[in-house]
Amino acid sequence: MKVKNIILFIVTLLGAIATVSLVPFATVAAAPSEVRVEGVVTDHGRPVAGQEVFVSCVTRVRISGTSGTNGVYVVTFTATQCPIGSLVRAIALSPDGKKRAAGSAIAQPITRIDITMVPISSIPEYGWTSGILAAGSGFGVIAYTRRQPYIRQLMGNLKR
C-alpha cells in the first residue's frame, strides 16, 4: 500500500512539473512578429493632415509616416527592430519649423501615441523666460563669487 502511494505521488509530481514547464513555451510561441505604432496628430484639438511623423524605438531604428486626412498616422516595426517593452517615441515638426509635437510610450503589439502640435516658443527650454533666467543666474554666480573682496574692503574702510 505504501509503495502504491509513493508511486502515485511521484507520477502526480512529474505531471505537475511537466505542465508548469510547458507554460513558458506556449507564451513564447505566441509572441507578435511586429509592433504597430499609431496615433493622431492634432493642433488646437483639430486633426492635422499631411504631417510627417518620425517614430523611433530603443534600437535606434527610425521610421517616418504621414498623417491622413483625419490626422491618423500608422508606423510598423518588426519585433527585432522594436521589442515588446521598449521605449517608443513619436516626434513631428511643422513644415515652417514653428511648431512641434512629441510623445512616448512602451511598445506593445499595438501602441498608441497621440501627439499635439505646440508652438516652439511656448516650450520653456526655447522661450525668452529661460534665456532671461539663465542670464540672471549667470550674473548671480559672478556677483556671489566676487562679493567677498568688496565686503572685506568695505569693512576695512569702516574700521578706520
pLDDT tens digits along 61-80: 888 888 899 999 999 998 88
Number of domains in the chain: 3
Residues of the chain with pLDDT > 70: what percent?
Answer: 60
pLDDT in tens, 94-128: 888 888 899 999 999 999 999 999 887 765 555 56
Residue 149 CA to its chain's centroid (Å): 49
CATH code, domain with 45: 2.60.40.1120
Q: Does 91 share its domain with 144?
A: no
Q: Does 111 share its domain with 132?
A: no
Q: Does 62 share its domain with 78?
A: yes
Q: Does 38 share its domain with 66?
A: yes
Q: Does 38 share its domain with 109?
A: yes
Q: Does 65 share its domain with 112?
A: yes
Which is more confidently placed, 79 or 153?
79
Q: Does 45 share its domain with 104?
A: yes
Instruction: Tell me what the pLDDT averaged over the chain comes to.
Output: 77
State which H helix or E strand residue 130 sits in. Answer: helix 128-159
Expressed as residue numbers, the domain containing 11 is: 1-30
Q: What is the grid cell recorded at 119?
A: 508652438
Q: Does 78 share its domain with 152?
A: no
In this structure, the number of other CB atoms found within 10 A of the CB of residue 62 comes to 13
Q: Does 26 share its domain with 49?
A: no
Q: Does 23 share its domain with 51?
A: no
Q: Does 102 share its domain with 45?
A: yes
User: ∠ at Cα 127 (125, 131), nearest 5°?
Assistant: 80
Residue whose C-alpha is closest to residue 106's, from 131, 123, 124, 89:
89
Residues of the chain with pLDDT > 90: what percent?
Answer: 29
Q: What is the pLDDT of residue 26?
A: 46
Quote the strand ranges of the chain, DSSP E.
34-43, 46-47, 52-57, 62-66, 72-78, 87-93, 99-106, 110-112, 115-116, 118-119
Q: What is the largest CA-CA distance in the chain?
A: 111
> What does pTM read for this prediction?
0.57
Q: Does 116 share its domain with 155?
A: no
